[in-house]
């Protein structure tokens, strides 16, 4: 067994221990939820619902989002047939998210990516984001930041570059909320979405907070951000003329007594 990553091994063991303790409770809660759905639906709809749960299990997809979708419809008093149709649509999106993520994929990532895809994130963008992630790093939160940036008009390639910069600087989840906030600040200043995203990416790469990003212009064009401070002008002088070239100095004085 390799000892190059003891922290990662310890973390994996901790996650496994939590799963072993919490797993039965979670499974029991899901079972109770599914039973409530069956009890609320008519016979034909309940049979369709069970078939969808079985299909999800066969395909390695999480079933909790399906149960939750059905319970949501029941709470809103949606007709039974429409509830099952919504569950089937949710299953289709989960399958698309699983395909975009590839293997292995955590259940939380599958559900998070499915939500983001329903917000308009493409499978291609998900694959690009997954490729940026190190190892099995969860992408569920990052993919929603990608969706947040797209909602603000940031082009997908620029949004992915922002998250690439975030990954390069350590990829800490607690830094993610500052990314849309930084873009929002620049948008309020009149900066365009693409330029705002690029400025935030540059700020992250330079080691600064995402919220401190600012567009490269005008400094990027070789002009100072502020004009130099001019020295005070004495009364009677002519600041528009240069000195030392026969121009500009004080007028010659006449002979005494003139």
211 lies in which domain range? Answer: 122-218
* pLDDT score of 170: 87
Same domain, 131 and 202: yes
Domain-located, residue 244? no
Identify which of 11, 174, 30, 175 has the alpha carbon closest to the alpha carbon of residue 107. Answer: 30
Residues 6+ apart with CB under 8 A from 209: 175, 178, 182, 203
* pLDDT score of 104: 83
Domain-located, residue 24? no
* pLDDT score of 207: 86
H helices within 154-245, ranges in order? 156-168, 178-188, 193-205
d(CA 58, CA 13): 27
Q: Within 10 A of 188 (CB to CB), how many other CB atoms are there?
A: 9
Domain-located, residue 226? no
* pLDDT score of 253: 55
Same domain, 114 and 148: no
Q: Give the residues of the chain that fall short of pLDDT 50.
A: 1-26, 28, 217-230, 240-247, 258
Domain-located, residue 256? no
* pLDDT score of 140: 87
Contact yes or no for 41/84 (Cβ under 8 A): yes
């Amino acid at each position: 067994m390799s000892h190059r990553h003891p922290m990662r091994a310890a973390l994996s063991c901790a996650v496994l221990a939590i799963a072993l303790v919490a797993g039965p409770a979670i499974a029991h809660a899901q079972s109770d939820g599914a039973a409530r759905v069956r009890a609320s639906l008519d016979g034909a709809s309940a049979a369709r619902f069970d078939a969808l749960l079985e299909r999800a299990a066969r395909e390695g997809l999480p079933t909790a989002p399906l149960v939750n979708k059905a319970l949501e419809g029941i709470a809103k008093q949606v007709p039974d047939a429409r509830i099952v149709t919504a569950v089937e649509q949710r299953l289709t999106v989960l399958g698309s998210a699983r395909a975009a993520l590839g293997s292995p994929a955590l259940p939380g990532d599958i559900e998070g990516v499915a939500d983001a895809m329903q917000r308009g994130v493409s499978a291609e963008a998900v694959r690009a984001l997954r490729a940026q992630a190190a190892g099995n790093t969860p992408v569920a939160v990052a993919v929603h930041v990608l969706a947040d940036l797209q909602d603000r008009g940031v082009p997908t390639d620029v949004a992915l570059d922002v998250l690439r910069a975030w990954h390069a600087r350590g990829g800490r989840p607690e830094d993610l909320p500052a990314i849309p906030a930084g873009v929002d600040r620049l948008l309020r200043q009149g900066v365009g979405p693409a330029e705002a995203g690029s400025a935030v990416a540059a700020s992250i790469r330079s080691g600064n907070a995402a919220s401190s990003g600012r567009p490269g212009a005008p400094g990027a064009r070789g002009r100072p951000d502020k004009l130099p401070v001019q020295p005070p002008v004495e009364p009677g002088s002519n600041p528009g003329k240069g000195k030392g070239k026969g121009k500009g100095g004080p007028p010659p004085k006449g002979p005494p007594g003139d």
